[in-house]
Amino acid sequence: MSVSASGDVIRLPSPGRYVSHPDELLMTTNVLVVDDDTLVRTLLTRLLTKQGCNVIQAEDGEQALKLLAPGHEVHVVVTDLEMPNMEGSELVRTIRSLERLMALPIIVITGSDEDHQVDSLVAGANDYISKPFDSHLLPAKIQNLANLRQIQLAAEKASWTDQLTELSNRRFGDIRLQEEMARAQRYGHPLSVALLDIDHFKLVNDEHGHQAGDEVLIAVANELRTVSRRTDAVARWGGEEFLFVFPETTSEDAAAIVDRFRAHLAETPITVSSQDEPLIVTVSGGVSSLREGDTLESLVDRADKGLYRAKETGRNRLMAWRDGDFQLVTAA
């Protein structure tokens, strides 16, 4: 939400848009303004919207972190230093501790106190702006940092993307899952994951060739995109395995989404260039939800064990961890 130059509350179109894949690069500069003073936030919003920026507001560091959660698109942070609940310097350090946000540009708002300016830069801020605001300098600094961020994102894209399927790769999947786990544990929200594996994929390669195998992987990845919500994350986990991350989602709801995908895929033959007849491809999978004390490894390991139970008991099925054991997911 933002405030227009006339003082009316307006809703901006893109600050709340979710980014589930690293290919969604910077188009319009979204600026997160963090300050406990309503007047300061209003003044900054008026100034920045006149320069064509989209502005998101937060009253303190805790609220800012929620708006910086995985999936939210923020390109530059402008934050005050002295705020309740979480001071600006702590917010800066927290942002810098998150791998996905390590390069996120941050400008701090300071008075004339040189110690504050030095402390803010030591904490990890890129720059500072002193009160009162210079109506030309601050937008110029923000745009400069936003342009640099766009270049960084373009360079990072290759290291975040699986080149064959153009899904996120395991590195980016790790980052998203770690941050979703931290957010779920911080706020007590549900989080579920599913690990999927293409059945008999080795036979596809052996009988039809590796080109056919690649085409099957691409087709499955495309189908996964169609069922994923914009808040979800889908990554090629390795070989013919895919990881689905479901924020704010219980095991039952995640299992329902994945099982609908499994059933749809089994009924949708995949055409490959080397074969006259389309191939019937199925997947097996396991679903698990975040529990107290979980690590990334333990959460994914439960899904992996469910996947192997699905393989052992017939394939083309989904097993979910419930009540201390794996149970077959059946269509509702």
Give the per-residue pLDDT at 136.
85
Same-domain pairing of 112 and 221: no
Domain end marker among 126, 160, 194? 160
Query: Which of the pair, 143 or 151, is modelled with greater confidence?
Result: 143
Residue 109 phi/psi, 5-degree rounding, is -95, 125
Q: Using the 3D structure, point to which of 106, 133, 160 is the last residue of a domain.
A: 160
Residue 209 domain flag: yes
Give the pLDDT band (50/70/90) at residue 102: confident
Residues 210, 122 share a domain: no
- Active-site residue, 240 included: yes
Same domain, 148 and 186: no
Q: Give the integer Cα–Cα distance in Å for 311 and 307.
A: 6
Is residue 194 over pLDDT 60? yes
Domain range for 102 is 2-160
The pair of structure tokens assigned to 317 is: 């099925």
Q: What is the pLDDT of residue 285?
A: 96
The answer to whether residues 133 and 218 belong to one domain is no
Quick one: average pLDDT of 97-111? 86
Q: Quick check: 23 pLDDT over 50?
A: no
pLDDT tens by residue, 263-315: 999 999 999 998 889 999 999 999 999 999 999 999 999 999 999 999 999 99
Shared domain check, 273 and 218: yes
- Asked if residue 93 and residue 194 are part of one domain, the reply reads no
Shared domain check, 155 and 6 = yes
Asked if the structure places residue 165 within a domain, the reply is no
pLDDT at 73: 79
Buried b (16+ CB within 10 A) or exposed e, 9-39: eeebeebeebbbbbeeebeebbbbbbbbeee
pLDDT band (50, 70, 90) for residue 27 = low
**Domain match, 228 and 308 both:** yes
Q: How far apart are CA 172 and CA 166, in angstroms?
A: 12
Residue in 73, 180, 215, 240 annotated catalytic: 240
Residues 147 and 200 in one domain: no
pLDDT of residue 132: 81
Q: What angle do CA 20, 23, 25 make, to 5 degrees?
A: 100
Domain boundary residue among 160, 186, 220? 160
Residue 28, pLDDT score: 78
CATH code of the domain covering residue 250? 3.30.70.270
Quick one: what percent of the chain has pLDDT higher than 70? 87
Which of 56-70, 99-113, 171-185 has the least mean pLDDT? 99-113
Looking at the structure of the chain, the number of domains it has is 2
Convert the pLDDT of each residue in 210-267 to its tens digit.
Answer: 999 999 999 999 999 999 888 899 999 999 999 999 999 999 999 999 999 999 999 9
Predicted pLDDT at 11? 28
